[in-house]
Structure 1
Amino acid sequence: MRSEREVNQAIDKYVNLITRICFLYLKNEADTQDVLQSVFLKYLKHDKPFESEEHEKAWFIRVSINACKDILKNFFHSHIVSLDKVEQFFLTEPPQHPEVLEDVLSLPQKYRSVIYLYYYEGYKETEIARILKKKVNTIYTWMFQTKRLLKKQLGGEWDAS
């Protein structure tokens, strides 16, 4: 079991990241808070050391995504959330183009996750594949399809090159 100091440091370091990921999946503040608590409780009980800081961060992302998926499997979620409410959970600066964020949130879940991890968290396709436990080519395909969908939704012409 981890010490209180370790848990508090992890909370300070990862609370914003986990909150954004959970809200991206759940679009619900109460469920997001529930997942936050369960993720940090799992961290408290997780006594295996991490290979690196990046490994620890990937563990938090993976555990958060899995907890969100569990909630979505067990509870019917059809919440509609205003873009203003979503923006408050992206605790950094608000998006420059809110229409893009709105369109990203309307994408199927697999595309939302890939785009979020790539553009908002700065992960490379190979890292996303490892985090989501998918093949790298699957991630490349999803990125291609997502860009095509977003371009179409935003009214641009699609150029496959």
Structure 2
Amino acid sequence: MDDIYKRNVEMIYRICFMYLKNSTDSEDAVQSIFLKLLKSNTSFADPEHEKAWLIVMTRNYCKDILKSWWRTRKVELARLPEAVWRDDGDRSGEVLDQLLALPDKYKIVLYLYYFEEYSVREIANMLIRKESTIQTQLAKGRTLMKLSLGGHYDK
């Protein structure tokens, strides 16, 4: 269990942060997800199966939190806290802010494709969507990111 935690904790935190948009809720979600894993006694065929299972579990858990009675009635902070995993490049904070502002269906697909380096087929299997849907969401997400960044991004 310790090895699974060490291999996946940062990725799980980043996915939680993308959905929940604050570090406190994200840390709580990470703890809950690993607790569920511990209680489930799930065995994995390989590290990729493990990673895919955790990503799907994380997505579902975060969506459940966002639908909860408490979450829908509490006041959100106007500004997101600084993420600990941000790069300190010139515009990386701006890119992250724009990514977090995208609708969930684009945000998670872009994250899995660019940050976790999953293929379109792997993302489609994890999110239980057609490959063509994932490709469309990637294209639309890229367009939205480009527009929100002023039409271009030069790093």
**Aligned in 2, Cα 1:66/1:95: closer, same or farther, shift over 3 Å?**
farther
1:25-52 CA-partner distances (Å, limit 9, x unpaired): 1012221122112111111122232121
TM-score (ref. length: structure 2): 0.85
Aligned with residue 85 of structure 1, among 79, 82, 103: 82
Runs of 4+ with deviation above 3 angstroms: 77-82, 93-96
Structure 1 Cα separation of the partners of residues 143 and 50 of structure 2: 33
The match for 1:3 is: none
Q: CA deviation at 1:12?
A: 1.3
Does residue 58 (structure 1) correspond to residue 52 (structure 2)? The answer is yes
Partner SS state of residue 138, structure 2: helix
Distance 1:80 1:116, change over 3 A: farther
Structure 1: tracts of 5 or more residues without a match: 1-6
Q: Give yes or no for the alignment of 1:155 onto 2:150.
A: yes
Q: How much has 1:134 moved relative to structure 2?
A: 1.1
1:31 pairs with 2:25 = yes
Aligned length: 147
Unmatched runs of 5 consecutive residues or more in structure 2: none
SS in 2 for 1:134: coil
- Correspondent of 2:102 among 99, 107, 116: 107
RMSD of Structure 2 on Structure 1 (CA): 1.9
CA spacing shift, 1:71–1:119, aligned 2, 3 Å: same
TM normalised by structure 1 equals: 0.82
- Tell me, yes or no, if the aligned pair for 1:62 and 1:131 is still in contact at 8 Å: yes
CA contact (8 A) 2:20 2:66 kept: yes
Contact between 1:18 and 1:36, CA under 8 Å: does it hold in 2?
Answer: yes
Q: Distance in 1 between matches of 2:33 and 2:111?
A: 19
Q: In structure 2, what is the equivalent of residue 123 of structure 1?
A: 118
Q: 1:55 to 1:94 in 2, by over 3 A?
A: farther
Report the CA distance between 1:130 and its aligned residue.
Answer: 1.0
Alpha carbons of structure 1 residues 96 and 63: separation in structure 2 relative to 1, 3 Å: farther
